[in-house]
Amino acid sequence: MVSLIQLEYIVAIDNYRHFAQAADHCFVTQPTLSMQVKKMEDDLGVKIFDRSKQPVMPTEIGLRILEQARIVLSESGKLHELVKQFTGDVSGDLIIGIIPTLSPYLLPLFAGNFKRKYPLVNLRIEELLTSQIAEKLKTDQLDAGIFVTPFNDHSIVEQAVFYEELLGYAHPDHPLLARESVDLSDVSNYDVWLLGDGHCFRNQVINLCSATNRINHELPFGFESGSLETLIRLINREGGFTIIPELAVAEGLNVPEAQIFRFSHTKPIREISICYSRLYTKRHLIQLLAEEIAASVPVAMHDRNRGELVNWK
């Protein structure tokens, strides 16, 4: 008979594609893990993994077994969560991922308060790109992710938490600052400094500014940064403009108000959500986290109708 322990072992192997790393994750020796997986394969009469390949890969039937194993483990985990919620037990591990354009400005607002409110929760946070968070959600290496949505992946649940305005930041001599009002169409006439590939905020800026064909044509040199702070310093020294999120201005970026411009008619916003796998097991903890994040930002940011959503995907 297949056991839950065996299911945990094969899912760990699938996540890490390496027997030794899977064993470390499960806190067992590699021979113990290998023996249990071999026993499961013998009981089922099929090979779950092709050990001749490096990294180790699931077989065709192994993929289907792993899919069902994740469902079984998820349902089993929900039993424990039901009991915890009934007894008022708020404890356990909660591992979340957050994108770089949010973490410096949002984390200080909620992480410490959440930990003080729920001291028995072992909160661990990783700063990752959206694609990395999504992959780790699907392989159970993260419990939740905080990133920009819509993401449009059927295997991931998106729960919108707040909406922040997208603002412009320009060199003091930039023509955009001399305008009485700035429309979205106005910014497409100028080059824009961008974050590097992989950042969802980069794609939002390109969509917002219609900038696909005008990136770095008139700027002094081509550069794509992983940091909003770097872009700000470049603009102050070399000219040009970029787009920055509202929370960054309110909670960390040291930028003069005179160099910020807002769009006059259509206010562009981005949707920030807490996301998790459809096979999630820690619903109560994730909901408490979502509530703490929502409470940490200005009430005005809760309003979906405060502007027009800028998609990035």
The pLDDT assigned to 265 comes to: 80
Locus of tokens 């064993």: 23
Whole-angstrom Cα distance, residue 210 to residue 189? 9
SS3 49: strand
Whole-angstrom Cα distance, residue 158 to residue 151? 8
SS3 276: strand
SS3 300: helix
Identify the CATH number of the domain in which residue 35 sits: 1.10.10.10
Residue spans of alpha helices (H) in 60-183: 60-87, 103-117, 130-138
121-144: pLDDT as tens digits? 999 999 999 999 999 998 888 999
Q: Report the sign of the C-alpha dihedral through residues 290, 295, 301, 304, in that order.
A: positive
How many Cβ atoms sit within 10 Å of the Cβ of residue 31? 10
The pLDDT assigned to 294 comes to: 97
Q: Per-residue DSSP letters for 78-108?
A: HHHHHHHHHHT---EEEEEEE-TTTHHHHHH
Same domain, 79 and 106: no
How many angstroms from the chain centroid is the CA of residue 3? 33
Identify the CATH number of the domain in which residue 128 sits: 3.40.190.10
Contact 59, 48 (CB under 8 A): yes
Strand partners, 275: 145, 158
Domain count, the chain: 3
The pLDDT assigned to 168 comes to: 93
Contact 181, 267 (CB under 8 A): no
Same domain, 293 and 154: yes
DSSP state of 2: -
Same domain, 264 and 168: yes
Same domain, 73 and 15: yes
**Regions of the chain where pLDDT drops below 50:** 212-214, 216
Same domain, 151 and 202: no
Tell me whether the omega of the peptide bond preceding residue 150 falls within 30 degrees of 0, making it cis. yes
Q: Measure the CA dihedral 122/128/133/135, to 10°.
A: -120
Same domain, 103 and 227: no
Tell me whether the omega of the peptide bond preceding residue 104 falls within 30 degrees of 0, making it cis. no
The pLDDT assigned to 82 comes to: 78
Domain boundary among 251, 268, 285: 268
**Containing domain of residue 79, as a range?**
4-85
Same domain, 149 and 229: no
What are the residues whose beta carbons fall under 8 Å from the beta carbon of 214, sequence distance 6 or more? Answer: 188, 190, 191, 192
Whole-angstrom Cα distance, residue 228 to residue 248? 9
Q: What pTM was computed for the model?
A: 0.81
Contact 265, 180 (CB under 8 A): no
Same domain, 253 and 218: yes
Same domain, 180 and 263: yes
How many Cβ atoms sit within 10 Å of the Cβ of residue 218? 9
Q: Which of 158, 239, 245, 160 is nearest to 205 (CA)?
A: 245
Same domain, 156 and 175: no
CA angle in degrees (0–180, nearest 5) for 123-128-130 = 115
The pLDDT assigned to 33 comes to: 94
Same domain, 117 and 176: no
The pLDDT assigned to 213 comes to: 45
70-112: pLDDT as tens digits? 888 878 877 877 777 777 788 889 999 999 999 999 999 999 9
Same domain, 168 and 253: yes
Contact 179, 241 (CB under 8 A): no
